[in-house]
Amino acid sequence: MLQQVPGFRISRIRSPWQRGGAVCLGGVLLSLLMFAGCGGDAEPAGEQGAAAPADSNPSLSDQVAALAAARQAEADGQDPSASAPTAAPDPPSVAEQTAGTFQLPADATPSQLLEALEKIDRQIQRVATQQTEFDTPEKIQAEIKRLATVKLQAASRLAAMASLPPEMLKLSKRGKLQALSHLVALGDVASTPELKQFAEQLSQSSDPTLAVESRLVMIGFAMEQLQVSNDPQPVVDLVEQLANNAEVLGMPALMTMGQARSGLQQYGYSAAARQVRQQMVRAFEGHPDPNIRAMAEDLASAERFDVLDSLRRDLEQQRTVTPAQWQSEAANLVRRGADLGALRYLSQAALHFEVTGMKEFAKVTYETIRNGFADTEDPELRNEQQIILATHNARQQIIGKTLEVDLPDTTGAPYDYSSLRGKVVLMPFWAAEHPESISVFRLLESIRDKYPNQVALLGVNVDLDEASLIQFEREIRLDWPSLRSPDPLQQGIENPLAMQTGVTSFPFVVLIDQQGKVRKVFLTNVGIEAATEKLLQASTPES
């Protein structure tokens, strides 16, 4: 049976050489929750760097003003530090990043309300990636719902103010649409009629951003309507309207189009699914962001994966599917087109099988990757195939072996790894560029705090861009060390420890016993605490 892993999301990391299910209303709204913000054009969460500064830190405008003043003083021949304010306190730890202080003053000005919208967006991102005190799904959902309610209040109060500048009025409308979307996505049924009415109203806006974001919501409603009607045309029409505003389309629109195509295919509307695919290709073929353009190409070709998707759904529903059936269809996929899209699909499927303990399905998928792409002459395809196979092999081979650790910490200072001998070590690989990798920190810290004399944390930073690490460490204080290669060509999966352990996705945590041997590799946070406690119990002498 294909198990559902809570929170499992494959987040690929790349080497320095590589830089550059049926849709429903809830799925669309969660896309908005992940990607949208009121402070300007949002970017994908996985592409952002560190979290925004804590509320006690200076605002971005304050920091820019201070930097400008320092540069002006330096240009005038003065000592920039002479007039500088006193040093800011140490950045807060992950546990200290709390959202409990977000409240709206009764007499808030338009500027204060707009600032509140921006802060709430940042805090929702922190809460969603477990960078706050909220460390269970129930607490996280409750806090995001509270923040969304405050956001709705701020947006509504801002919109009701007289003589707002056009840009501020636009941001108030975006804030209201997004806040209602957050609430409905989190199960607030009472907000559904208001969201539907407001989205329909904004869809007629002359502002392309407002029109696009409202139509994303309307696609979710149209897909839900398909469960009681037999007409997919409203979905196709809405997607076409989105494609006509290609200049303002971003990740939320791409994900929504992809979900719509997949959903229409599942419901049996193949012709409508093809029309959505064609609109997706038209909308994103010239997109300025190469990552979004590449993802659009992958999603547009997703119809090739419908048979394998169907087999995976059968596994989820405990229907009989054999490894041989899966391997046969995987081989058919490769025969029809051995390209990057097919390789990445099979790689993600293999990782999921690996994580959920379906060893035979993982084995035959990796065999298909090895044999099906053996004759490729495309250097990029060959390189990615070799990385997939090498990292999988490393994860298998490292179990029971001792890690070779000879890296400094993130400050460049030498680190004595032997000082941890005698303790169980939890080693998370992380990058500020990938919030998914940071979301496991709270769990690991709670295990360490439960067994402070027996468990130690030692991270490995694999940010491709050191600036992301520097920004993160300015804003969040970790009370445990992390290692980082000083060689700029040894970042990402090229990090020596990442190569030894087979890092290819996030989260990624290595469990090391008291003798320094690797006992287990985790590609999700599920099972880490139980495995750690089992290791501790095994080393405790019986009384």
| Per-residue pLDDT reduced to its tens digit, 339-397 | 888 998 999 899 999 988 899 999 999 999 999 999 999 999 999 999 999 999 999 99
What residues contact 165, with CB distance under 8 A and at least 6 apart?
Answer: none
Of how many residues is the chain composed?
Answer: 543
Residue 334 has a pLDDT of 94
The structural architecture, per CATH, of the domain 401-538 is: 3-Layer(aba) Sandwich (3.40)
Q: Is the pLDDT of residue 433 over 80?
A: yes
Look at residue 161 and tell me whether its pLDDT is greater than 80. yes
Band (pLDDT 50/70/90 cuts) for residue 29 is low
Higher pLDDT, 235 or 297: 235
Q: What percentage of the chain exceeds 70 in pLDDT?
A: 80
Answer yes or no: is pLDDT of 141 > 60. yes
**Of 90, 92, 88, 89, residue with least CA distance to 101:** 92
Which of 171-180, 265-274, 514-523 is predicted with the least confidence, judged by mean pLDDT?
265-274
Per-residue confidence band for 542, with pLDDT thresholds at 50, 70 and 90: low
Place of tokens 């769990």: 443
**Residue 40 pLDDT:** 45
Q: How confident is the model at residue 28 (pLDDT cuts 50, 70, 90)?
A: low
Q: Taking Cα atoms as reference points, which of 486, 509, 522 lies closest to residue 438?
A: 509
Region 447-466: mean pLDDT is: 94
Average pLDDT for 267-294: 87
Q: What is the mean pLDDT of residues 505-513?
A: 93
* Residues 239, 249: Cα–Cα separation, whole Å: 11
Q: What mean pLDDT is reported for the chain?
A: 81
At 177, is the pLDDT very low, low, confident or very high (cuts 50, 70, 90)?
very high
Give the count of alpha carbons within 13 A of 445, CB side only: 19
CA neighbor of 400 nearest in space, from 517, 513, 503 = 517
pLDDT digits (tens, 9 = 90+) for 314-331: 898 888 999 999 999 999
Which pLDDT does position 167 carry in this prediction? 92
pLDDT at 370: 96
Q: What angle do CA 442, 444, 447 make, to 5 degrees?
A: 110
